[in-house]
Amino acid sequence: MDHDILIAGGGIAGLTAAAAFGAAGFDVLCVDPAPPVASREAPGADLRSTAFLQPAQAFLAEAGLWERLARHATPLQTMRIIDAGGPAPDARLSRDFEASDLSPDLPFGWNLPNWLLRREMAARLQEMDSVTFRTGVSVERLFTRTDEARVSLSDGRTLRCRLLIAADGRDSALRQAAGIDVSCTRFGQKALAFAVTHPIPHGNVSTEIHRTGGPFTLVPLPDHEGRPSSAVVWMEHGARAAALHALDVPEFEAAMTERSAHQFGPLTLASRRAIWPIIAQHARALSSERLALVAEAAHVVPPIGAQGLNMSLTDLKVLRDLARAAPERLGDADMLARYHRARITDIRARIGGITALNRVSMLQAPALRDLRAAGLAALHGAAPLRRALMQLGLGQTR
């Protein structure tokens, strides 16, 4: 056997998986067609940010990643939801959800830019004797048997492993090769992602502003060039998003400042703009012979409530725990069936909940937007329900 585990995909989920399984004592090879883009200004840099929620911290620490990430992380102490659905695009209702309601010492989570995450995670893998990370290489063919997977790589090599992990994205070639179907919902939306600076400090508050088309979310980042900075995800109907993406910078800055309900003063664009379509998608099965699907190969959700990557980390933790509990059964049919059963119900429930929230955020009719605002006020005002929903969002079961 050439490796215990082969991971296809060197995005954040794939790099995390390599670190986690390597730290658990497995021999791991992770491959990706392209090297990580590890600079904010480099062509192809992922300009989104990722919020790691509370439960992720221990898992990242066990993988040896948190020590590298902590010094770059911006804590998320408050989540503020604003309804700006009145006649003018101004805040008419604002409610804060405080991490202190759940724990006195910990924030909801920590936010980091994706390009920086990939830089630090790739550096961690270089330190690990049990992990090999190869770029410029992809999986081309897959042949599985009950006791092993044989993988043909683009460099001409054929390797044998006990478990193949597909972390190769929403259009996963490995998922398709295994014949696993997906259920997909399209919303007619696109998301713009970029970074901004602003004169008013964010105070470690993540701010989600609802009007129509989808939420406009500002997530705290470290100061940039001496000014407060935030990562922004702006979801809009597809044609509107494309038109915004094409605007000259001054026009775009005026539009995003208005859409932000002027919460942080005039917004200044501090990065390139990325755009991508919004879908909700999940694989009908999370495994096949010697193959496990994780992250966006298994599920895709709209960027609401920091659920996407945190669902992916739960995939990895469940899979890692199963492997560590019975290493002699790594990748066998029983282990992979357990993985599917442990994750599929939660994945479907979270996708359903996020899909519903996204449709509410898209409302255009004034009367329905009024109902949305009233619902937010009622939810926040019921303290037990508020705390229960926050715990659910964090993935806590207590």
Output DSSP code: residue 1. Answer: -
For residue range 37-47, list pLDDT tens digits in order.
767 677 767 76
Same domain, 268 and 201: yes
Same domain, 320 and 243: no
Does residue 166 form part of some domain?
Answer: yes
Same domain, 106 and 243: yes
CATH, residue 258 = 3.30.9.10
Does residue 273 form part of some domain?
Answer: yes
Same domain, 96 and 144: no
For residue range 226-254, list pLDDT tens digits in order.
999 999 999 999 999 999 999 999 999 99
Predicted confidence at residue 166, as pLDDT, reads 97
Same domain, 248 and 327: no
Does residue 62 form part of some domain?
Answer: no
Predicted confidence at residue 379, as pLDDT, reads 62
Assign 222 a pLDDT band (cuts: 50, 70, 90). Answer: confident
Same domain, 85 and 210: yes
Higher pLDDT, 62 or 51: 62
Same domain, 152 and 235: no
pLDDT at 367 over 90: no
Does residue 262 form part of some domain?
Answer: yes
Output DSSP code: residue 8. Answer: E
Same domain, 233 and 120: no
Boundaries of domain holding 176: 3-45+115-184+283-358
Please give the average per-residue pLDDT across 320-344, as a whole number.
97
Q: Read off the pTM.
A: 0.90
For residue range 181-221, list pLDDT tens digits in order.
999 999 999 999 999 999 999 998 999 999 999 999 999 98
CATH, residue 39 = 3.50.50.60
Please give the average per-residue pLDDT across 9-35, as a whole number.
95
Backbone φ, ψ for residue 9 (5° rounding)? 125, 120
Does residue 93 form part of some domain?
Answer: yes
Same domain, 122 and 165: yes
Same domain, 155 and 231: no
Please give the average per-residue pLDDT across 358-373, as a whole number.
80
Does residue 51 form part of some domain?
Answer: no
Same domain, 39 and 135: yes
Residue type, 270: A
For residue range 250-285, list pLDDT tens digits in order.
999 999 999 999 999 999 999 889 999 999 999 999
Q: Are 270 and 229 in contact (CB under 8 A)?
A: yes
> Token pair for residue 102?
């759940």
CB neighbour class for 383 (10 Å; exposed up to 12, middle 13-18, buried from 19): exposed
Does residue 58 form part of some domain?
Answer: no
Same domain, 15 and 131: yes
Predicted confidence at residue 54, as pLDDT, reads 83
CA 229 to chain centre: 20
Q: Are 63 and 16 in contact (CB under 8 A)?
A: yes
How far does the chain reach from its first CA to its final CA, in angstroms?
42
Domain count, the chain: 2
Does residue 380 form part of some domain?
Answer: yes
Higher pLDDT, 243 or 93: 243
Within a 13 Å sphere around the CA of 303, how many CA atoms are in the beta-carbon half?
Answer: 25
Task: Count, in order, helices (H) and strands (E) of the chain.
Answer: 11, 20
d(CA 349, CA 343): 10
Predicted confidence at residue 105, as pLDDT, reads 79
